[in-house]
Amino acid sequence: MQITNILQLYYTIVTMFVEFPRVKVKTIAERLGYVGRGKSPSTVTRHIQNMYTKKISREPRLTLKTFENWQNTAYFCKKRDGKGLYSTFLDLYHDEKITYVLLLSGRDFFVTSREKELDLERYGLDVQEKSILYTPVYTMPEKWNMQMDEGLNAFLHSDFEKGLVSREIRKKLGWSDVDWRIYDAMRGNVRTELTVVARETQVYSNTVKKHFYEKVLPCCVIVNYFFPKGYDFYGQAFLRVHTEYEESIVNALRKLPCTSYVFPFENELALGLFHEGVEDILLVIEKMEETGIIDDYLLYTPIAYAI
């Protein structure tokens, strides 16, 4: 495979991670042609690190699917006063019980947690709404060289059919203590060396490998990211939508140039969209509302968030 464009190279590497998250650098090098005289697989390692440094992607991570005895709860909250909004965001971000947080427009926060009854009053937050957060979806763009306006146009003119995304709640998650330790050691980076995980969990490498592939991985979604101009380049919109076309909308998000986040709630979807101008998002959403694809929506412009 001969690749001359560095962005295409990054995209190809990420798609290999999607295909096989723990693909070896040597295998990537062979497929990309970085083998033979004067070539070294270490070049691939350098490209991967540069890709992460530029925030075009990041290490693939794990997130658990939804189970009867393990599920995330989503909270929409409002701070009682307008003081210390960013400090509150940072406090929430560093709270080990919280898995994701956004500081939305005004004094609104979006928080997810494993706790069904999370104490948010100590942060000065009043819970306005809460819902089960079903297994999230993280889209991978179909192309590496799609421009934003081109992608939004392709998204808008997709073939939409009625159908809801899955809200399956799986049977009881029966993990052992070893399974949880392996998950905690690898959830931030699926590609962590098994020997490193073995040292951290005090479990033999062969045991780590067996439990990871047989117990942990089947219960998880692997999250891959692609932001062609770098994560920090884009603005972010948080869109809550009611629609009968959920599944088609999620599939159409792959036509956008960036990864999108999809959070299924009990009665609606929330979409984390990356953009180059929020007016473009509004224009597309209103056209979808006019054609009946979307019944109604709420659009927030997050003030503070993390990848």
The residue among 168, 133, 142, 87 whose CA lies nearest residue 240 is 133
Mean pLDDT of 152-172: 97
Q: pLDDT tens across 73-91, in order?
A: 999 999 999 899 999 999 9
End-to-end CA distance of the chain: 31
Report the pLDDT value the prediction gives residue 106, as an integer from 0 to 100.
87
Report the pLDDT value the prediction gives residue 250, as an integer from 0 to 100.
98
Residue 2 has pLDDT above 80, yes or no: no
Residue 1 has pLDDT above 60, yes or no: no
Whether residue 261 contacts residue 271, with contact meaning beta carbons closer than 8 Å, is answered with: yes
Residue 305 has pLDDT above 90, yes or no: no
Q: pLDDT tens across 234-271, in order?
A: 999 999 999 999 999 999 999 999 999 999 999 999 99
Given strand 269-275, what is the order of strands in its sheet?
137-138, 261-264, 269-275, 235-242, 296-300
Class of domain 72-133: alpha beta
CA distance 154 to 304: 29
Q: pLDDT tens across 104-135, in order?
A: 988 999 999 999 999 999 999 999 999 999 99
Q: Could you please report the per-residue DSSP string of 253-267?
A: GGGSSS--EEEE-SS
Tokens at 64, concatenated: 């658990």
CA distance 56 to 48: 10
Domain boundaries, the chain: 6-54, 72-133, 137-166+225-300, 169-222
Q: Which fold has domain 137-166+225-300?
A: Alpha-Beta Plaits (3.30.70)
Percent pLDDT > 70 in the chain is 97
Q: pLDDT tens across 17-75, in order?
A: 999 999 999 999 999 888 766 677 889 999 999 999 999 999 999 999 999 999 999 99
Where do the H-state alpha helices sit in the chain?
6-19, 25-32, 42-53, 85-93, 148-156, 177-186, 194-201, 205-211, 246-252, 278-290
Which sign does the torsion angle of CA 185, 186, 189, 192 carry? positive
Report the pLDDT value the prediction gives residue 41, as an integer from 0 to 100.
82
Mean pLDDT of 287-307: 93
Most distant CA atoms of the chain, gap in Å: 65
pTM to 2 decimal places = 0.92
Output the average pLDDT for the chain.
95
CA distance 152 to 150: 6
Report the pLDDT value the prediction gives residue 275, as an integer from 0 to 100.
97
Residue 307 has pLDDT above 90, yes or no: no
CATH-assigned architecture of domain 169-222: Orthogonal Bundle (1.10)
CA distance 277 to 298: 17
Cβ neighbours for 172, distance < 8 A, ≥ 6 positions apart: 67, 68, 69
Report the pLDDT value the prediction gives residue 40, as an integer from 0 to 100.
79
Please indicate whether the domains covering 137-166+225-300 and 169-222 agree at the CATH topology level. Answer: no
Q: What is the 3-class SS of 186-200, one letter each residue? A: HCCCCCCCHHHHHHH
Query: DSSP class of residue 165?
Result: P
Report the pLDDT value the prediction gives residue 155, as an integer from 0 to 100.
98
Residue 93 has pLDDT above 70, yes or no: yes
